[in-house]
Amino acid sequence: MENKKEVLLSLKNAKTYFPIKKGVMKKTVGYVKAVDDVTIDIYKGETLGLVGESGCGKTTLGKSILQLINSTGGEMLYNFGGNIGVKNLKKLTSAEMKLARKRLQIVFQDPQSSLNPAFTIFGSLEDPLKQNGVAKREDRRKIIGDLLEQVNMRSEYMDRYPNEFSGGQRQRIGIARALSVEPELIICDEAVSALDVSIQAQVLNLLKELKEKKNLTYIFITHDLSVVEYISDRIAVMYLGKIVEIADAEALYENTLHPYTKALLSAIPVADLDKKSKRIVLEGDVPSPAKPPSGCTFHPRCKNCMDRCKTDIPALKKYMVDGKEHFVACHLMEEQQQATPLSEQS
Ligand SMILES: Nc1ncnc2c1ncn2[C@@H]1O[C@H](COP(=O)(O)OP(=O)(O)OP(=O)(O)O)[C@@H](O)[C@H]1O
Ligand SMILES: [Mg+2]
């Protein structure tokens, strides 16, 4: 992958703001800047981990990519290949949108909420197939049976109801459903966070296996730093709607550069055998994304805060660390190292 990196999705200054409305007239009095100027390339075949504290905009970014939420600005360029080529996901024709709905899928934390309790698994999984032209019921049964086997479940389970399964099994059904339309990019939003540690490992291994078999690309959203280290090729760290650090998974843990990432890593709960999945808790509260601090939004919580951090927004810049690309948005790094701004990179 190192030598031949093909960009699948390129986010350029992506922004998603939610208006804050007040009063009887519902006047817009401000915006929650849930995703604020995110620029990142996602390569074909990689697993990009996306981490950060609760409320930093991970889910909003995922849903904005899938066009489940209207974004406010920027571009989301997706490489469809073939004669369609690269298209902005925000400006697709309805035929292209139909294709995008197949190519991009999401797996949520709680599959219970996305599986209708009144339907059997077959009933829940057959809709996307119908929409994609699998007209015969027996063909749909065959495909769904095969899908269940691919996620290590028995094909006859398709006639059971969601409440007859454990959390881990339901999550595997959620994955089977995402796979049913033969996607390229799957956004896993806290896909294993609700599971017990041993079941988490099974589902993570299944995701890894399926990725190899089906040439998938994952954006893996989680607040669990041990999970993200295990599954990711690269990791992007988000803080208050912005990406503050991106590096290969190993490099991020070995050469952590951003003070926020350092704080996150030092907050990993140690040897807690009883843990399901812990929220990251750092000192000081996360400021409101409706009123983000000036300059570097992390400055009120940063031990290394300098004067310019209070006024200037640091850009995400590339550094070479041990011969590897490492992106950081931090004034301290700029003063210590030679950086190349993203805009000047080829
Ligand atoms: N539909 C909405 N309307 C208004 N504000 C929203 C909406 N959805 C999310 N937000 C706000 O946007 C910010 C980012 O939320 P988001 O759900 O993306 O965070 P997250 O990183 O996924 O958090 P978590 O780890 O808790 O899932 C939060 O401040 C949240 O309150
Ligand atoms: Mg979320």
Of residues 147 and 283, more confidently modeled = 147
Spans of all domains in the chain? 7-117+183-286
Q: Kindly identify the ligand whose nearest atom is closest to the C-alpha of 53.
A: 1
Phi/psi at 77 (5° precision): -90, 120
Please state, as a whole number, how many other Cβ atoms lie within 10 Å of the Cβ of residue 54: 11
The rounded percent of the chain whose pLDDT value lies above 70 is: 91
Residue 251 has pLDDT above 60, yes or no: yes
User: How far, in Å, are 161, 259, 273, 313 from residue 239 at the CA level?
Assistant: 39, 11, 28, 13
The token duo for 83 is 């004669």
C-alpha to C-alpha distance for 112 and 135, rounded to whole angstroms: 27
C-alpha to C-alpha distance for 178 and 66, rounded to whole angstroms: 13
Let me know how long the chain is.
Answer: 346
Which of 36, 38, 59 maximizes ligand 1 atoms within 8 Å of its Cβ, making it the mutation to test the pocket? 59
Q: Looking at ligand 1, which atom is closest to the CA of residue 52?
A: 21
Alpha carbon of 71 to ligand 2 centroid (Å)? 16
The token duo for 305 is 């805060």
Alpha carbon of 154 to ligand 1 centroid (Å)? 37
Contact by Cβ (8 Å): 338, 321: no
Q: Whose CA is nearest to atom 16 of ligand 1?
A: 57
Short-list 286, 287, 282, 248, CA closest to 265: 282
Could you read off the pLDDT of 156-195 as tens digits, one per residue?
A: 999 999 999 988 899 899 999 999 988 999 999 998 888 8
Q: Whose CA is nearest to atom 2 of ligand 1?
A: 18
Q: Whose CA is nearest to atom 31 of ligand 1?
A: 55
One-letter amino acid at 170 equals R
Q: Looking at ligand 1, which atom is closest to the CA of residue 290?
A: 29
One-letter amino acid at 16 equals T
Alpha carbon of 190 to ligand 2 centroid (Å)? 7
Q: Whose CA is nearest to atom 14 of ligand 1?
A: 57
Alpha carbon of 332 to ligand 2 centroid (Å)? 29
CA-angle at 63, arms to 57 and 64, nearest 5°: 85
Q: Looking at ligand 1, which atom is closest to the CA of residue 60?
A: 18
pLDDT tier for residue 281 given thresholds of 50, 70 and 90: low
Alpha carbon of 80 to ligand 1 centroid (Å)? 29
Q: Which CATH number describes the domain made up of 7-117+183-286?
A: 3.40.50.300
Q: Kindly identify the ligand whose nearest atom is closest to the C-alpha of 288.
A: 1
pLDDT tier for residue 132 given thresholds of 50, 70 and 90: confident
- Which residues place a Cβ less than 5 A from the ion ligand 2? 59
Query: Is residue 250 within a helix (H) or strand (E), and if so which, with residue range?
Result: helix 249-254
Q: Whose CA is nearest to atom 25 of ligand 1?
A: 54
Provide mean pLDDT across the span 57-64: 96
C-alpha to C-alpha distance for 128 and 132, rounded to whole angstroms: 6
Q: Whose CA is nearest to atom 27 of ligand 1?
A: 54
Could you read off the pLDDT of 292-321 as tens digits, one per residue?
A: 999 999 999 998 899 999 999 999 999 988
The token duo for 302 is 């940063």
Short-list 177, 143, 178, CA closest to 162: 177
CA atoms within 13 A on the CB side of 128: 22
Query: Is residue 105 within a helix (H) or strand (E), and if so which, with residue range?
Result: strand 104-107
Phi/psi at 225 (5° precision): -70, -25
Average model confidence (pLDDT) for the chain? 89
C-alpha to C-alpha distance for 67 and 3, rounded to whole angstroms: 31
Residue 60 has pLDDT above 90, yes or no: yes
Q: Kindly identify the ligand whose nearest atom is closest to the C-alpha of 55.
A: 1
Could you read off the pLDDT of 24-43 as tens digits, one per residue?
A: 888 988 999 999 999 999 99
Short-list 50, 113, 3, 78, CA closest to 261: 50
For residue 56 and ligand 1, the question of a CB distance below 6 A is answered with: yes
CA atoms within 13 A on the CB side of 321: 21
Sheet holding 27-43, edge to edge: 27-43, 7-22, 73-79, 86-88
Of residues 112 and 238, more confidently modeled = 238
Q: Whose CA is nearest to atom 10 of ligand 1?
A: 34
For residue 223 and ligand 1, the question of a CB distance below 6 A is answered with: yes
Q: Whose CA is nearest to atom 12 of ligand 1?
A: 34
